[in-house]
Amino acid sequence: MARMKSVEALVKAMKKEGISCVFGVPGAAINPLYAALKEDGSIRHILARHVEGASHMAEGYTRAAAGNIGVCLGTSGPGGTDMITGLYSASADSIPILCITGQAPRDKLDKEDFQAVDIAAIARPLTKMAMTVMEPNQLLSIFQKALYLMRSDRPGPVLIDLPIDVQLAMIDFDENDYVSLRPSKPKAALSQIRKALQMLDEAKRPVIIAGGGIISADAGHLLVRFAELNNIPVLPTLMGWGVIPDDHPLMQGRVGIQTSNRYGNATFLRSDCVIGIGNRWANRHTGSIDTYTKGRKFIHIDIEPTQIGRIFAPDLGIVSDAGEALQSLIELSHERRVQGVILDRSAWVAECEYRKRHMLRREDFDQVPLKPQSVYHAMNNLLDRDTCYVTTIGLSQIAGAQFLKVYNPRNWINAAQAGPLGWTMPAALGVRAALPDKKIVALSGDYDFQFMVEELAVGAQHKLPYLHILLNNSYLGLIRQSQTGYNMEYQVSLAFDNINVGETDDAVASYGVDHVALALALGCKAIRVHRPEDFQRAFKEAELLMETYQVPVVVECMLEPVTNIAMGQELNCINEFEEILCLDENLKAETGWVVNNEG
């Protein structure tokens, strides 16, 4: 047992929990913890330019690999309130991150001291625990509980608020006595698993909806094994994309009113039984519940009891960790095969595969200015199979989900539920910090890029190279398309005549912001692409620049100002704005797709 400052003990406990990297912005009220980190010297610190950026970096770090703990540090007052968007994003997608804030001294908390705000009360609705530590001897037990809660059951963020006098207080601590608590994970009863398999047996056209809970459980391989054993098509959610490779015969696309494949929606609408594993039935996935549920039975497996029946009542609800449930499903499936219970679903799978081959959207445009589809076409053809994509919201993300190919878990990292603009860049830096050898590709529209563009300097300072694909149409594209429902286009154009762009590039000047100059000013490299035939050269040059300078490289793609991306209000009535590659007229009639060429 040794006598030390509480923050010195906290740093030792952080290392015992496996924390090796933190993101943050120092300040007067959190400086004692920074002093302890500096004295220890073994935990890497990455200095953000904005505390919200640091919170998204922590998200990216957690999302990148199983078992990671993203940590964000900030000072009192705005240091904590700046984290709120990150806490919301993490909470919405069930991502465990730890936020630690400095705070005014305990005796000043109710005296309107400088930058004293009740951050625990503000953060509590968005966290699994938010607590101001009032007793120094409780700091380590509160920290231990926070990490237990953030990883148990449905994962999520936590916040610990540290008054400066608590940080400086002396306590007795023996790091050998500190033990990480094993997280709690519910497990399905075998009787429930048997009933689920029986329901699938009775179905003629079953499908699996594979959610992000499978990735959180690091159980993608189990999902593939279960699907193969039972020959059931898989339809991953946006958060579950990557649990099964896009070119696997049982991978049949995504379902939804925006981020979906045509064949994915069509296959879902033909299904008669759905087993959802680790998913939430999010509204962008379902559209209206009446259309989504009509004519099919549902099994819902989720780690959080209150998710069962939240959106609609399933025919069978099972509370379980996705990995535990899949393991049981596999074991009982093996038993059944030994007993001779093998169902022939080859005709159903062949029908789904036929749609996958024929119900495609066109992506091989060669026009200038670029159509966004041609950017994704180039990415599919020129980037590695193990590329990790990072993105948030907007037409760039929606079109990316419609056209890109993903082959592994955690290779699609997306702020799916909250979708805060500006998230992409800091999240990509967090992913890079977690995965130093992986190809990281961020995907942004111009507004998402501009929201937290200052974080590019973090990549330059801390040598965090990644490729940032910037689709520039000088529009708030998704909002512009949404505004058509109100018969207006108002305050959604970002274009202006930039008097500082040289006359040699008039097309760029009319788009407004010179993103190439902006990236260079922040210590990074940038390339501009005008024509489809330039992509191969640009990507090769970007690889060389990243390798040479170890900084982020932006590839700015100059798009036509207006491109409507397929979406709608119902799964059976998606507006298609471009040419449809569908050779079978019966498929068009069967699924009720609408082609809207009027914008």
178-221 confidence digits (pLDDT tens): 999 999 999 999 999 999 999 999 999 999 999 999 999 999 99
Which amino acid, one-letter code, is at 31? Answer: N
593, part of any domain: no
Instruction: Identify the residue whose tokens are 């053809």.
Output: 381
Q: Quote the domain boundaries for residue 86.
A: 2-177
> Residue 295 has which token pair?
């004519």
- Of 302, 324, 358, the residue at which a domain comes to its end is 358
Angle at 64 between CA 325 and CA 36, to 5 degrees: 115
577-596 confidence digits (pLDDT tens): 876 665 555 555 554 444 44
Cα 101 to Cα 112: distance, rounded to the nearest angstrom: 17
102 and 29 co-located in one domain: yes
143 and 100 co-located in one domain: yes
Average pLDDT over residues 237-250: 96
Average pLDDT over residues 54-77: 96
Q: Is 229 left (phi over 0), alpha (psi -120 to 50) or beta?
A: alpha
391 and 486 co-located in one domain: yes
Greater confidence (72 vs 499) lies with 72
The CATH number that applies at residue 550 is 3.40.50.970
395-437 confidence digits (pLDDT tens): 899 999 999 999 999 999 999 888 899 999 999 999 999 999 9
Reported pTM: 0.93
144-164 confidence digits (pLDDT tens): 999 999 999 999 999 999 999
111, part of any domain: yes
- Of 299, 327, 358, the residue at which a domain comes to its end is 358
Percent of the chain with pLDDT over 70: 95
pLDDT at 501: 77
- Of 177, 206, 234, the residue at which a domain comes to its end is 177
205 and 344 co-located in one domain: yes
Total domain count, the chain: 3
CB contact at 8 A, 458 and 47: yes
27 and 168 co-located in one domain: yes
| Among 278-282, 336-340, 363-367, 548-552, the least confident range | 336-340
Greater confidence (259 vs 512) lies with 259
109, part of any domain: yes
265, part of any domain: yes
151 and 245 co-located in one domain: no
pLDDT at 500 over 90: no
pLDDT at 207: 98
pLDDT band for position 114 (cuts 50, 70, 90)? confident
Instruction: Identify the residue whose tokens are 């909250």.
Output: 418
pLDDT at 43: 97
Average pLDDT over residues 435-454: 95
587, part of any domain: no
Q: Which residues are part of the catalytic machinery?
A: 25, 51, 421, 476, 479
88, part of any domain: yes
Looking at every residue in the chain, the average pLDDT score rounds to 92
pLDDT at 116: 81
327 and 373 co-located in one domain: no
Q: Which SS3 state, helix, strand or coil, does residue 88 take? A: helix
580, part of any domain: no
397 and 546 co-located in one domain: yes
Closest C-alpha to 309, from 285, 281, 286: 281
Average pLDDT over residues 49-71: 96
6 and 137 co-located in one domain: yes
497 and 453 co-located in one domain: yes
The CATH number that applies at residue 322 is 3.40.50.1220
Percent of the chain with pLDDT over 90: 81
Q: What are phi and psi of 184, to 5 degrees?
A: -90, 130
60 and 135 co-located in one domain: yes
151, part of any domain: yes
> Residue 191 has which token pair?
């009787």
461 and 549 co-located in one domain: yes
555 - beta bridge partners?
469, 527
